[in-house]
Structure formats: structure tokens, C-alpha cells
Amino acid sequence: MFNWLTKKLTRKITLVLLIMLAALSVGVYFYTELPHEFPAEYVLFALGGLIIIFLLILHQYISRPLSVLTKQMKYLLTGKLYKKIYTNRIDEIGIIAQFFNEVTENLESISKRLKDAQRMASELEIASSIQQTILPHESPNIPGLEVVAKTRPAVEIGGDNFDFINRKNNTFIYLGDVTGHGAPSALVMMMANTLLNTYSEMYDNLYDIVVNTNRQLKPRIKSAMFMTMVILKWDQNTEKLTYLGAGHEYILVYRVATGVIESIKTGGIALGMVPDNSKLVKEQPIDLEKGDMVILYTDGITEAKNDAGEMFGIDRFKETLIKYAAVYGPEGVAHHTSLDFSQFVGEAEQLDDISLIVMKYTGKEIDAGSAANAQTKTTQWLENINEN
């Protein structure tokens, strides 16, 4: 483009110079043909005036605009404050000016985007830090249960949410999954976490906790946002486990006596989908024998795909859990399941948040070693793969 414009400008300047040369030649010719008594000063004066006029035209329409353009380009290239060039010209000079304006606008837009990206990265880092403080860093000491939890968001911050809430003789354990991932999901996740913790202080049954949480959450989020959830209540005195579903994945129960996994449909409707879910949710029991395991998960596991587009799936997940539950406790089951999962998905991009909670019913009569294991830290999903 610049070569084309340069050639056109060169042609224009050459044309002006040729016109001047032609005018000078004409003047010389007439001077030599004029009578000798005609004053030579008049001719020289006329020629000089003609040259000055042409030079002024050259300066006004070519040299001066080019000087302005060159000056602003120099400012741009040296990082100094430059100005946009306003002109109504549609010739080569106008094209160069328009090109300069478009380049500077693009540079300003890129610069703004870079600044916005830096600001957003900083804010995401802060939000991620806040979210990490909300998620429990270690499972509580729950008499009768051994618990391990693992999670990994798809991006800096995610919508998966879980917590262990101790209230007198009850422990509430929940796992939630907000639609999508990223900052919007994380905000809904944090609101839900606050509400669940607040209402667990007020009520000792799952029904009232979930109904009131939904009532407060619904008007505060967009219509397209909601959170599936399953929440359990462990009564330490009676060693009874109950659950309430809000449109979440299955609860998986490994039965130690038979070596099989039972799938329990959680039922209910996701939080935030309707203003009043009081007629749609119900607290129900899960009967356990010592050694049985309860597994909670989000669909980031079952719906994950490998490079070939094959889904991990619920059946593969259950087979993996059965294989390791027969040999290991919750920590081993979570660890080896994460290894198998990692080998399956390979280098495929993680598209959704991943969370897994494994609980084992140990009973109150457990040894000191098992009690220590019950205090297992909740770790990042797949974080220990590189150690093997």
C-alpha cells in the first residue's frame, strides 16, 4: 500500500515540477522573441511569481500535509503523545491520514484490552483466593465417618461447591454444581454457600435449610443460572444418614457386603429454578452398614471426554470405584480414581469443574489410625499424579 501511495505522490510532485519547467521554458522563449525595448525585469518578475505560486501550491497541498503526517507518525513510533489527523481529502494524502487514524485506533483498542485483561486477571486471582478460603481445606473430624474431598475448577474460579458444616450433633455435607463455570458461577456458588451455612444454624433438618436457601437465592440470580445440589445430614448420636436432592447427580453407595454400587436418584429440582421448591424436595434416609462408602460427584467427571470424543460415563466411573473400594479407604479410592480418570482423558481440555467426595461409614468404634485418616485434607483433583 505504501509503495503504491509513494509512487502516486512522486508522480504528482514530478508533474508539478514539469509544469514549472514548462512555464520557465515558455517564459524564456517569449523573452527572446520580445522586442529589445521590453523591460527584462517584467519577464523575470512574472517568472519568479509563477515559480513562487507553484512552490506555495506544492507546500500547501503536498509538503505541509506530509510533514504533519510524518510528525505524528514519529510521535507514535517514539511513544509520545500523538494526535489524530482530520482531513476531508480523498487523494493519497487523505488515504495515508485515514490509514494512520485506523492504526492508532486499533492500537488504542489493543492497549485498552491488554489493560482490561491485566485487571481481570488480577481480579480473578483475588476471586480465586476468596473462593479457596470458602472451600474447606480439610474435612472435619466426623465421628463415624471418614471423608475425603477433591476438586479442580475448569478455569481460575469455578461453580462447584461443597462444605462440611458441624452443628451440635449433626454434620451437614453438601456438594453443589452451578451452571457453567467462571466468575458468574463462582458468585452464585458463594451466595449459596453463605445461605446454606446461615440456615444450618437455624434449622436441624435438610428440608427447611434447602427450601429457605432457594427462596433467598432465586430472586438474586439470573433466570438462566441455577445450582444442582445434594445435601446429607449425619446424626452422630444415632449414626443415621439422610439426604435431600436438588436436581443433582446420583448418590453412589458402595455396599461392602456385596461389592456392588447402588445408584440413588437424588430427585428434587435445582436451586434457583423456581421461587418455591417446598413441594418438590424431600428428606430421605440412606441405610448403611459399616464399611459402606457414599460417593458424591459432579458431572465434570462423568461427562468428561478424551481426545477421541469418548465420554468417561457413569458406568466406567462406577466400575472404577468398585475396583478400588474393595481394596482402599476413601483416600485410596479418590486417589486411584483420579489416576484412572487422568489416563482416560489424556491431554483433552477440561471443559467443566470436577469434584469428588468419598465417605466411609466406620462406626464410632474406630482405632486411632482411622481417626487420623478422617482428618484428611481436601486436595486438588489429580494434584498428586505427577508424584507417581
Instruction: Starting at the earlier edge strand, list the strands of the sheet with 293-297.
Output: 260-264, 251-255, 293-297, 354-363, 144-152, 379-380
Closest CA to 14 of 62, 64, 68: 62
CATH node for 135-387: 3.60.40.10
Which three cell numbers mark 156?
A: 481460575
Task: Give the span between the Cα atoms of 303 and 345, in whole angstroms.
Answer: 11
Radius of gyration of the chain measured on its C-alpha atoms:
38
Are the C-beta atoms of residues 330 and 358 closer than 8 Å to each other?
yes
The full set of domain ranges for the chain reads 2-110, 135-387
Q: Helix, strand or coil for residue 79?
A: coil
Per-residue pLDDT of the chain (388 residues), as tens digits, is: 445 545 555 555 566 666 666 666 665 555 565 555 556 555 556 556 666 666 566 555 566 666 777 777 777 767 677 777 767 666 666 667 777 777 777 766 766 676 665 655 555 555 556 556 666 777 778 999 999 998 887 765 667 889 999 988 899 999 999 987 667 777 888 889 999 999 999 999 999 999 999 999 999 888 888 999 999 999 999 999 999 999 999 999 999 999 999 999 999 999 999 999 999 999 999 999 999 999 999 999 999 999 999 999 999 999 999 999 999 999 999 999 999 999 999 888 888 888 999 999 998 754 444 444 444 444 444 443 333 3
Task: Give the span between the Cα atoms of 175 and 266, in whole angstroms.
Answer: 12
Q: Provide the residue type at 152 as one letter.
A: R
How far, in whole angstroms, is CA 342 from its chain's centroid? 22
Are the C-beta atoms of residues 226 and 196 closer than 8 Å to each other?
no
Is pTM beyond 0.85 here?
no
